[in-house]
Amino acid sequence: MSGLPSPIGSALVTDLPGPVHHDDDSAPHRQRRIGQRPAVRRSLIGLAAFVGAGFLLLPVVVIFVEALRLGLGPYFEAISESATRHAIWLTVLTAIVVVPVNIGFGICAAWAITRFTFKGKKLLITLIEIPFSISPIVAGVAYLFLYGSQGLLGPLLAAYEVQVMFTVPAIFLVSLFVTSPFVARELIATMQVQGNDYEEAALSLGASGWKTFLLVTLPGMKWGLLYGALLCNARVMGEFGAVSVVSGSIRGQTNTLPLQIELLFNDFSSVGAFAAATILTLLALLSLAGKIWLERQR
Amino acid sequence: MAVTTATPPRHHRRRRVIPGFGLTLGITLAYLAIIVLAPVLALALKAASLTAAEYWAVVSSPRAVATYKITVGSALIATLVNAVIGLLLAWVLVNYDFPGRRFLDALVDLPFALPTAVAGISLTALLGPNGWIGQWVEPLGWKIAYAQPGIVIAMAFTSLPFVVRTIQPVLEEMEPEAEEAGLMLGASDGQVFRRVIFPTILPAFIAGSALAFARSLGEFGAVIFIAGNLPMETEITALLTVIRLEEFEYPAAAALASVMLLAAFVMLFVTNAIQLWHLKYVRGD
Amino acid sequence: MTLRNLARAGLGFLLLTGLLAGGVHARADEVAAAAPGDILNVSYDVGRELFAEINPVFQAKWKAEKGADVTINQSHGGTSKQARSILEGLQADVVTFNQVTDVQLLHDKGQLIPADWQAKFPNKSSPFYSLPSFLVRAGNPKNIKDWDDLARDDVKVIFPNPKTSGNARYTYLAATAFALDKFGGDQAKATEFVKKIFANVPVFDAGGRAATTTFVERGIGDVLVTFEAEVQGARKEFGADKYDAVTPSLSLLAEFPVAVVESVAAKRGSQDVSTAYLNFLYTPEAQEIIARHAYRATDGTVAKAHAADFPAVKLVTAEDVFGGWEKIAKEHFASGGLLDQAFVNQ
């Protein structure tokens, strides 16, 4: 399907005919005969435009207006505050750690699933999609019961003085959980379409497996890979629920940008909260632009 | 990653020419076990540490039941709203050419890209008693923010793209013959839509709505800012779980989380079944 | 799957586990080895503005005296929630709470601080104090004067969750003290009285600040019960013309106990700076800031200078009315205790 993937699964993603991408440059591909009377047409377009402006665009506009309510000076003061700066850095760091790991996982999963037949494949695909369907809060709580002092591994970790909960690695771990399906899902769809004829040809000509992967598979799946990484990145940077359970919200230490927004909101600092929100919004708009660009490339 | 350790391919193997099966499957399984399954298992074990009676007392307490009603009820209304708006947007984007069509198409993905906490504070700024929209509707006696309509709007906002993006491709791929035949037989536009077009997109419509519903059930970030979080009135299950956690009532938090986990699995099963049906339909099997 | 493939799968598994575990471990080592260029002060919810002003002054002083930079990181939240986070492993060097029982929890449940922690700093380790007080909407439209009024049917009261917030537990204790005084020490009647107040609370937030937000930003409730300092802080922030402060006839002295979390400080080598930081709170310099934030200072000179800012009130102590914190913990706050009996909205 075009657009971002569903957070819940088509466990049958391998059965999909691959992503359908409509060509954005063309006009609607075919004039449908019904619904073309000017009155119907105009009112439907008007309604859609109203929904788009009022329901989708307005929330973005309000963020910037609220952030700049007191002018540019207070705005830049708010985003250069040290705790907010640290939150920006931590959010970026989390993405830097999490996205590559999930790319690695995605490649492995897609390789195993699309290049081989084995028993339990459908179950494996469902397992990969589980994090999509679980509420972020449940994910956070689950990690607490694994690594917390009352949790499964808590006592063992405490014996070795390893602290996981309320640290930056805990934020990495829940982010890995929440975003693990994004790259895998895109790659499975892409590599399914790609097929393995070229790889088999390369291998039979004596290329090594690694070389075949680099020179044959990777170029073919490059756009799918970037697309999945983009979606994964957008979600990592914006994750709130799961991170809020495991982070401990220490200013300047374990506060990511979405948590910092909540904190500033509770500090009566409306401009600060909205200023921090503008940064995430700009990142979201960047993701959207990247997505449109990637769809053109494919 | 560890792919460098892949051994050279073995051509004498008949069944598998392509190398890396053990390695990639091993890494996949290990990663899933550590990152996904271990925490889910830990949660299940914690919930299982309660006796049946204790578990039941937690998950059936009046306050917990109220959160289920609010969460499921709001998600249902949000899904209905999205079904209508989503169908409208998909129809307009596919069938009409107008200035700004591509911009509107891009806008549809915005709720996916926008972090939920950002959506939460921005909707609150719009709909709160002093907000841009709230200050005009409040005097009319409509309370949106800090009441159930606020929850519904937050859920609808975050899950709108599902419906649009599932219907859109089906509407695009639809062959014109059937509707033209209908028109030639003298049917009105409305009749053709009802009898020909709607039945064709129905599976996609239901699949998209199911996805939107599932997402709404689990939504947290956008909802808590705008919900008001009054126990028995505007408290969602996810929030009650967090409150129990903060009260150090770990077993109770685990029990509530397990209910949400179970609901997620049921929805995963349902959406998969619907999508299977939908795909069959798309291919015309 | 062939044996060879199984072996490879195992190899992949081990490699990944090793990577993850190594990463986590390396991070833990790094934390342990870091020079204490920063300490973490885990604090109560509504102390944000106070410590934001105190910390830079201490940092400058520490720099002048020792020539070293130190950063004080803050974490704010309901103190019971904070205490539990520390027991879960939150690496707090010092705690600045608003309730003795929550600090005591760190000793009782985790042995993180010594049993005699109250003897480590002056005034039973409590550098300042406050009391539960009322914030009402401008002109006091519901005519709320005292604790009685909170039990009226037509009044909606806002204060945080007594299960997570020390602030709310002072409110509970102060209301109980008032009722015991009124009903001649009849605990059953007092519980009934407090129960009525609890029934008037539409929402229990996790911490004092969230309760203030509920009252001020969401416009819910007729009266907010919180520390006098927060009452004045909210009026300063949102306009003294929009909210009035009401001091009840009787209230409970709310101590703000502090402690160095010895186990963490020892591990991180931060005992010196942590102790100096808490001692700094007792200096006239810090007490002046504390008084300006509407907390009542323990330093005699500062208290006298600000006496006019604080209305007279009959203040009772936990010892006077309830026989001390240990008894309170056992009779009131323990699971199934008097608080649970009154706090039925579970």
Q: Greater confidence, A243 or A35?
A: A243
Q: How far is B116 from chain C (nearest CA, A)?
A: 19
Instruction: Give the mean pLDDT of C335-339.
Output: 83
C143: tokens are: 């005519």
CB atoms within 10 A of CB C330: 10
As a three-state string, the secondary structure of A175-188 is: HHHHHHHHHHHHHH
What's the pLDDT band for A125 if we cut at 50, 70, 90? very high
Instruction: Tell which B residues from 241 to 260 touch A, by Cβ distance under 8 Å.
Output: 241-242, 245, 250, 253-254, 257, 260
Q: Which helix (H) or strand (E) holds B168?
A: helix B148-173
What's the pLDDT band for B177 if we cut at 50, 70, 90? confident
The fold of the B52-283 domain, in CATH, is: MetI-like fold (1.10.3720)
Same domain flag for A56 and A91:
no
Instruction: Give the mean pLDDT of A187-192.
Output: 92
Interface TM-score (ipTM) > 0.90: no
Q: Is C203 helix (H, G, I), strand (E, B) or coil?
A: coil
What is the structure's pLDDT at B278?
A: 77
Instruction: Tell which B residues from 185 to 214 touch C, by Cβ distance under 8 Å.
Output: none
What's the pLDDT band for C29 if we cut at 50, 70, 90? very low
pLDDT at B162 over 70: yes
Q: Does A282 touch chain B (CB under 8 A)?
A: no
Q: How far is B156 from chain A (nearest CA, A)?
A: 10
Ordered by start, the domain boundaries in chain C are 1-33, 35-125+260-309, 130-254+313-342
- Which CATH number is associated with domain C35-125+260-309? 3.40.190.10
Ramachandran region of residue B146, left (φ > 0), alpha (ψ -120 to 50) or beta? left
Q: Greater confidence, B116 or C33?
A: B116
What is the structure's pLDDT at A32?
A: 65
Task: Output b/e per residue, B37-70; b: 16+ Cβ within 10 A.
Answer: ebbbebbbebbeebeeeebeebbebeebebbbeb
C35-125+260-309 and C130-254+313-342, same CATH topology: yes
Cβ burial of A108 (10 Å; 0-12, 13-18, 19+) is buried
Instruction: Give the mean pLDDT of A186-201.
Output: 89
Q: Chain C contacts of A172, Cβ < 8 Å?
A: 23
pLDDT tens digit sequence for B122-133: 999 999 888 899
For B62, name the nearest residue in chain C, comparing CA atoms only. C346
Judge contact between A49 and A224, C-beta under 8 A. Answer: no
CB atoms within 10 A of CB A211: 13
Nearest CB partner across the interface for C24, out of A164, A249, A253:
A164
Distance CA C252, CA C9 (A): 65
Q: Is C220 helix (H, G, I), strand (E, B) or coil?
A: coil
Tell me whether residues A165 and C77 touch, CB distance under 8 A: no
pLDDT at A190 over 80: yes
Q: CA C193 → CA C148, C149, C169, C182, C183, distances in Å?
A: 9, 11, 15, 10, 10
- Among chain C, residues having any CB pair with chain B shorter than 8 Å are 1, 4-13, 15-17, 20, 78, 80-81, 84, 161, 163-164, 202-206, 217-220, 345-346
Instruction: Give the mean pLDDT of A209-214.
Output: 90
Q: With respect to residue A13, please indicate whether it lies within any of the assigned structural domains.
A: no
Same domain flag for A81 and A167:
yes
CA atoms within 13 A on the CB side of C245: 22
Q: Does A133 touch chain B (CB under 8 A)?
A: yes
Instruction: Tell which B residues from 188 to 227 touch A, by Cβ distance under 8 Å.
Output: 189, 192-193, 197, 211, 214-215, 217-221, 225
Which one, of B121, C209, C43, B127, lies nearest residue A268 by Cα? C209
What's the pLDDT band for B5 if we cut at 50, 70, 90? very low
Q: With respect to residue A250, please indicate whether it lies within any of the assigned structural domains.
A: yes
pLDDT > 90 fraction of chain B, expressed in percent and rounded: 59
What's the pLDDT band for C1 if we cut at 50, 70, 90? very low
Same domain flag for A246 and A293:
yes
Instruction: Give the mean pLDDT of C225-248.
Output: 94
Same domain flag for A98 and A200:
yes
pLDDT at C170 over 80: yes
Which one, of A60, A66, A82, lies nearest residue A260 by Cα? A82
Tell me whether residues A158 and C27 touch, CB distance under 8 A: no
Same domain flag for A75 and A57:
no
B115: tokens are: 């972090």
Tell me whether residues A149 and C87 touch, CB distance under 8 A: yes
Same domain flag for A75 and A186:
yes
A85-89, C3-7, C174-178, C286-290, range with the lowest pLDDT = C3-7
Distance CA B160, CA A275 (A): 26
Tell me whether residues A163 and C89 touch, CB distance under 8 A: yes
For C5, name the nearest residue in chain B, comparing CA atoms only. B22
Same domain flag for A264 and A168:
yes
At how many degrees (to 10) do helices C208-216 and C166-182 cross? 80
Same domain flag for A51 and A164:
no
A26-35, A167-176, A251-260, B213-222, range with the lowest pLDDT = A26-35
pLDDT at A28 over 70: no
Q: CA C204 → CA B206, B228, C190, C196, distances in Å?
A: 39, 11, 21, 15
A279: CATH:
1.10.3720.10
pTM over 0.90: no
Instruction: Give the mean pLDDT of C267-285.
Output: 94
Same domain flag for A54 and A134:
no
Pick the CATH number of C130-254+313-342 from 3.40.50.300, 2.60.200.20, 3.40.190.10, 3.40.50.880: 3.40.190.10
pLDDT tens digit sequence for B62-104: 989 999 999 999 999 999 999 999 999 999 999 999 999 999 9
Q: With respect to residue A17, please indicate whether it lies within any of the assigned structural domains.
A: no
**Could you tell me the residue range of the domain that residue A251 belongs to?**
71-297
For A155, name the nearest residue in chain C, comparing CA atoms only. C88
Same domain flag for A170 and A56:
no
Tell me whether residues A284 and B215 touch, CB distance under 8 A: no
Which one, of C188, C232, C212, lies nearest residue C78 by Cα? C212
What's the pLDDT band for B208 if we cut at 50, 70, 90? very high
Same domain flag for A178 and A62:
no
Q: What is the CA radius of gyration of chain A?
A: 23
Total domains, chain A? 2
For A165, name the nearest residue in chain C, comparing CA atoms only. C89
What is the structure's pLDDT at A23?
A: 43
What's the pLDDT band for C181 if we cut at 50, 70, 90? very high
Instruction: Give the mean pLDDT of A105-133.
Output: 93
Maximum average pLDDT range among A10-14, A152-156, C110-114? C110-114
Mean pLDDT, rounded, of chain A: 86
Beta bridge partners, C42, equal C75, C95
What's the pLDDT band for A252 if we cut at 50, 70, 90? confident
What's the pLDDT band for A247 if we cut at 50, 70, 90? confident
Tell me whether residues A148 and C91 touch, CB distance under 8 A: no
* Chain B neighbors (3+ CB pairs < 8 Å): A, C
Instruction: Give the mean pLDDT of A264-271.
Output: 82
What is the structure's pLDDT at B180?
A: 80
Q: Chain A contacts of B110, Cβ < 8 Å?
A: 56-57, 60, 284, 288
At how many degrees (to 10) do helices B62-95 and B148-173 cross? 40
Work out how many CB contacts closer than 8 A connect B with C. Answer: 84
Q: Chain B contacts of A48, Cβ < 8 Å?
A: 88-89, 92-93, 104
Beta bridge partners, C165, equal none
What is the structure's pLDDT at C7?
A: 52
What is the structure's pLDDT at C182?
A: 94
Beta bridge partners, C315, equal C251
Q: What are all long-range contacts of A35-44, with beta carbons under 8 Å and residues at least 24 apart?
A: A35/B91, A35/B95, A35/B189, A35/B193, A37/B189, A40/B189, A41/B96, A44/B88, A44/B91, A44/B92, A44/B96
pLDDT tens digit sequence for B215-248: 999 999 999 888 878 788 889 999 999 988 888 7
- Residue C192 backbone dihedrals phi, psi, to 5 degrees: -60, -40
